[in-house]
Amino acid sequence: MPDCMYKRLYLFLHLIVPAMLMATTQQVFAQPTIPFYQPVKKAALPQELEEVSGMLYWQNKLVMLNDGNNAAALYITDTSGIKLLQTVVLAGIENKDWEALAQDDRFFYIADVGNNKSGNRKDLVIYQVPKSLLNAKTAVIRIPNISIGRIRFSYANQVSFAAEKDNTAQFDCEAMLVHNQQLHLFTKNWSGQTSYHYTIPAKPGTYKAALAGQLQTGDFKITDASWNGKNWLLLTAYTKQGKVGLFAIQQHGKTISLKGNVRQFELPSAIQTGQLESVCFDSNNTGWLATEAFSARGFTLPQTLYRFMLPL
């Protein structure tokens, strides 16, 4: 079964169905210790972004990418989320399992790091795309293959590469950001209740990702990351039971860390929001969320853009 079809089946069985059952019985997500937050629904995203899996705010626009087995392309929209402005095609590149998108002043970083299928990928790579090549005003921009940097890596503490059952691996990842010439990866750990934080240099080469920290997330699985450039790191997450949430970690000093004060927010369940896959700040406490499309047995959730303003 193709990865995208498997992922949609997984979403239906493990997120949507439990959320539907819970919604018909009682408000089981109401936890007095975790504040509830309702993001503002803005629009259904263009059809090209059915499996949106990463997002950035850049030059007053949104830059997004799709999950694996889709085109190796970035999609630029206005902040309404309705109008597709440009498509950026990476020539000669495969979208095996793109999961995250980050940026610094000079580059976009595209993380082909999804590893949920069997947990044993040996071809994890982050593509480095020069922003200077996106100046054209044309509807489609092609990035020459020779201009795309490759940052290849493996996890320093991954010893076994034996195939595992789907959605049971420790070394899956969907969340990434860049800071001070370092890429920061936050794992989607299917085998436990901890997300692990790894770092690698943000320049082409082959590396061992160094373990830098960890965060106890309970049943939540981390799906994306964003840093507001000052004092907050934001992680999106969901559970197999249909809960959707955010982890905001306060930052101090000159490095990204999971050791700061943690504030957790509960969002509407998956039956209302869908599968939350993408987040980006555009100021200290405001930004954007995106969920991918889902359709099965008459139940449909379109790919959707949300606006947030967190009380940080």
pLDDT digits (tens, 9 = 90+) for 32-48: 489 999 999 999 999 99
Q: Does residue 308 fall inside a structural domain?
A: no
- 3-class DSSP state of 177: strand
Please give the tally of structural domains in the chain.
1
**Stretch 214-237: mean pLDDT, rounded?**
97
Domain that holds residue 92: 3-298
CATH number for position 107: 2.115.10
The candidate with the shortest Cα–Cα distance to 185, out of 250, 247, 235, is 235
What token pair was written down for 42? Answer: 């803005």
Domain membership flag for residue 92: yes
> Does residue 288 register a pLDDT over 80?
yes
* pLDDT category of residue 253 using cuts at 50, 70 and 90: confident
Token reading at 105: 């002043």
Domain assignment of residue 207, yes or no: yes
* 303 inside domain: no
pLDDT score recorded for residue 258? 96
Phi, psi (degrees; rounded to nearest 5) at 241 = -90, 0
Distance CA 43, CA 306 (A): 7
Task: Give the SS3 label for residue 48.
Answer: helix
Residue 306 falls inside a structural domain: no
Q: Are residues 67 and 4 in contact, defined by beta-carbon separation less than 8 angstroms?
A: yes
Q: Which residues pair with 235 in a beta bridge?
A: 225, 247
Residue 176 lies in a domain: yes
Contact between residue 219 and residue 187 where contact means Cβ atoms under 8 Å apart = no
User: What pLDDT does 10 receive?
Assistant: 55
Q: What order of strands is seen across the sheet that includes strand 61-66?
A: 52-58, 61-66, 73-77, 84-90, 140-143
At residue 285, what is the residue type? N
